[in-house]
Chains A and B, each alone.
Chain A
Amino acid sequence: MGYQLDFGSLAQYLSLFLRGTAVTLGLTAVAASLGIALSIAGAATARGGLAWARKLVAAYVELIRNTPFIVQMFFVFFGLPSLGLRLTAIEAAVLAMTVNLTAYAIEIVRAGIEAVARGQREAGLALGIRPREVFVLIVLPQALANVYPALVSQIVITMLESAVVSQIAVTDLTHMGDLIQSRNFRAFETYLVVTAIYLALAVLMRRLLARFGRRLVAGRAA
């Protein structure tokens, strides 16, 4: 016997692969934008907020980092409706991805803030700049420049983990793979192609973000 691999039957599904890729990228882009913005607020709170707010952020970070993403997503999609919050699959996926990414990014951004020399803040305050502006204009850009590579890795991890959203029927890349292999009965070949697309996305995202981000961040911090 011996199994003959056959990729020919996949060409006709090109548009499905492309649509799935677009959904995966779209989800990642939204979750990354929201997640980074929220994590800056979270890290600022964790550093200088009121005691109860600091505790709240710490509890949130621990809770999310010590439970699996798929369980968080099931909780959002299946569990929250009983509190009256009924979300579509896409909304639930974006919410779960954002909540997850934010927890990891808070730790990263916080480490970045801690790595900025104290003198930067003190010099800013000594010049009479308001504390809020010292944080936004002086400390934060340097903090983000410090940890930019770690943030990029975390965004790529979020993109790869988003394969799980196919389980609540979001039509992402993995879901398209499920659909295609149920039609052509070539599960291995189909998932091999899907895996290759994910790999290409991961490599491209890392390269593009490293180049694009370096200019963006260095331009403001240096």
Chain B
Amino acid sequence: MISFTLWDLARNLLLAARWTLLLSAIAFLGGGIGGLLLLVLRYSGRAPVKRAVALYIELLQGTPLLMQLFLVFFGLPLLGIDVSPLLAAAVSLTLYASAYLGEIWRGCVDAVPRGQWDASASLGMRYFTQLRDVILPQAMRIALPPTVGFLVQLVKSTALASIVGFNELTKTGEILTNATFQPFLIYGLVAAIYFAICYPLTFFARALERRLGLAG
């Protein structure tokens, strides 16, 4: 039997953590674009569009992420698309992130005082200009802390990709456990690596929130 030193285990887990980071980055970027799209649809669209956006968010926030992942993983092949575990995880996490970010950002746009809309309208600005030059810059300041907070949730959610066989941090932990029979040590290390990724983000989000609270 091959024996593993602590360094072997830690190195393998740290290398696997790159995939966790990559998946988080893809989902955050994709989800950010999707969330922005939802935001624009919600504020500029007609009633049926608004309802569709609300339904989309309700569906994605009211069902387990694991089921969304399974539906993408087993559903896309039915459409003739060959899915790798990475693709399935990236698609489902992107959809998931878009729903959450869309909802978070809507709250932030709503938090911009109504008078800002009225004032910019009275200056003759069109809707798109109002949004781009007046509302969004203010909303973005408010949005930063909860967005960073959501990033923590997203990093943790990528662990579910291990279930469809994507070889990220959690999956590598399982594989190493099966090889070494040291679950206590290995899952402890896995948790420590997630903590090392997430805690600075949590800390940053809190600092931003405090600064916003002092400024506002």
Say whether B119 faces chain A, with CB atoms less than 8 Å apart: no
Closest chain A CB from B90 CB (angstroms): 17
In the assembled complex, the Cα of A14 lies from the Cα of B148 at a distance in Å of 42
**Closest A-chain residue to B71, C-beta based?**
A191
Say whether B113 faces chain A, with CB atoms less than 8 Å apart: no
In the assembled complex, the Cα of A184 lies from the Cα of B79 at a distance in Å of 19
Q: What is the 8 Å Cβ interface bit string for chain B, positions 171-185, against chain A (1 contact, 0 not)?
A: 001100100001110
**Closest A-chain residue to B80, C-beta based?**
A1
Closest chain A CB from B7 CB (angstroms): 20
Say whether B74 faces chain A, with CB atoms less than 8 Å apart: yes
Using Cβ atoms and an 8 Å threshold, which residues of chain A touch B48? none
Select A160's contact among B63, B173, B194, B198, beta carbons within 8 Å. Answer: B63
Interface size on A, residues (CB 8 A): 41
Using Cβ atoms and an 8 Å threshold, which residues of chain B touch A212? none
Tell me the residues in window 128-185 of chain A with beta carbons closer than 8 Å to chain B beta carbons.
Answer: 156, 160-164, 166-167, 174, 177, 181
Using Cβ atoms and an 8 Å threshold, which residues of chain A touch B78? 3, 188
Contact, CB under 8 Å: A71 / B159: yes
Contact-residue bracket for chain B: 35 or more
Say whether B6 faces chain A, with CB atoms less than 8 Å apart: no
Say whether A74 faces chain B, with CB atoms less than 8 Å apart: yes
Using Cβ atoms and an 8 Å threshold, which residues of chain A touch B74? 181, 187-188, 191
Most buried by B among A71, A75, A161, A194: A71
Q: Given A79-B184, A83-B184, A70 and B63 touching (CB < 8 A)?
A: no
Tell me the residues in window 60-110 of chain B with beta carbons closer than 8 Å to chain A beta carbons.
Answer: 62-68, 70-71, 74-75, 78-80
Known: A70-B163, A82-B183, A174-B64. 7 other contacts (CB 8 A): A3-B79, A71-B194, A74-B170, A74-B174, A164-B66, A188-B75, A198-B63
List 26 A-B residue pairs with CB atoms under 8 Å apart, sorted by A's residue number: A66-B156, A66-B195, A66-B199, A67-B191, A68-B170, A70-B160, A70-B162, A70-B163, A71-B159, A74-B173, A78-B183, A80-B184, A160-B62, A160-B63, A163-B66, A164-B66, A181-B74, A187-B70, A188-B71, A188-B75, A191-B67, A191-B74, A192-B71, A195-B67, A195-B71, A199-B62
What residues make up the interface of A, taking CB atoms closer than 8 Å to B? 1, 3, 62-63, 65-72, 74-75, 78-83, 156, 160-164, 166-167, 174, 177, 181, 187-188, 191-192, 194-195, 198-199, 202-203
Q: Shortest 4 CB-CB distances between A and B: which pairs?
A: A78-B183, A163-B64, A68-B159, A66-B198
